[in-house]
Amino acid sequence: MPSLVNNDSIAGVVVTKFVAVKELRRMHLTVGGHRLLTVPNAGGSSVISEVLSFEVLNRCFCAKLKKTEMEVSYFPLGGSITDYTCEMYQCTVAVSVTRAMKYNGEFCLEDAQRLLNKKLKGVIQSTRNSLDKWRKQILHVWSTSHHVTEILVQAYNTVESDVKANTVVMITTAENADYIFNNG
């Protein structure tokens, strides 16, 4: 991860695994994770996935929370926004969080390609429109299974270079953590 974060000109994919050994309400969150959980959010049903995204980055890569999604400023308004910013390896990094899942049917390659292309284009837009400055973004994708993670990696390899830009895609397979996907 350090070489991907510190090099402004390369993109890449990192695969991680999150195994929940406690219920969410029994987890001891970091100060940054607690802040993400308790401050106002732009809406949607993704607060838990964002909180646990930060927890993974903090505990695995020593990330320090800088700004939450409502603290980052944009112009013009109305486009894609990042979920939080943090400091990693002396760099400010923006993080966008998404979940790879399908309510009806099995998550397939086309679903993964659509998700990655949409989210990576949003990353480019939020970087361009942000009044805050960062050199790198991480697109953190939560995966429901190892199989879905493999599909996401396969799909990543089909994404055009200009869409990947210099974004790090971190795919985390979540086990025993359905609450990441249903925010409950």
The whole-number pLDDT of residue 40 equals: 82
55-66 pLDDT, tens per residue?
999 999 999 999
Asked if residues 145 and 100 have their Cβ atoms less than 8 Å apart, the reply is no
In what side-by-side order are the strands of the sheet with 136-143? 12-19, 168-175, 136-143, 91-100, 84-88, 64-68
User: CA 67 to CA 166: how far, in whole Å?
Assistant: 21
- pTM of the predicted model, to two decimals? 0.95
| Average predicted confidence (pLDDT) for the chain | 94
Find out whether 117 and 148 touch, Cβ atoms under 8 Å: no
Nearest Cα to Cα of residue 116 among 68, 173, 78, 154 = 154
CA distances from 84 to 20, 47, 90, 111, 139 (A): 22, 11, 16, 25, 11
Q: How many CB atoms lie within 10 A of CB 52?
A: 26
Closest CA to 1 of 81, 62, 82: 62
How many CB atoms within 10 Å of residue 67? 17
| Euclidean distance between CA atoms 36 and 26, whole angstroms | 17
pLDDT at 25: 86
Encoded tokens for 137 = 């973004």
Phi, psi of 64 (to 5 degrees): -120, 125
**Confidence class for position 80, pLDDT limits 50, 70, 90:** very high
Q: In the beta sheet, which residues pair with residue 90? A: none
- Lowest pLDDT segment from 43-57, 62-76, 78-92: 43-57
pLDDT in tens, 28-41: 999 999 999 999 88
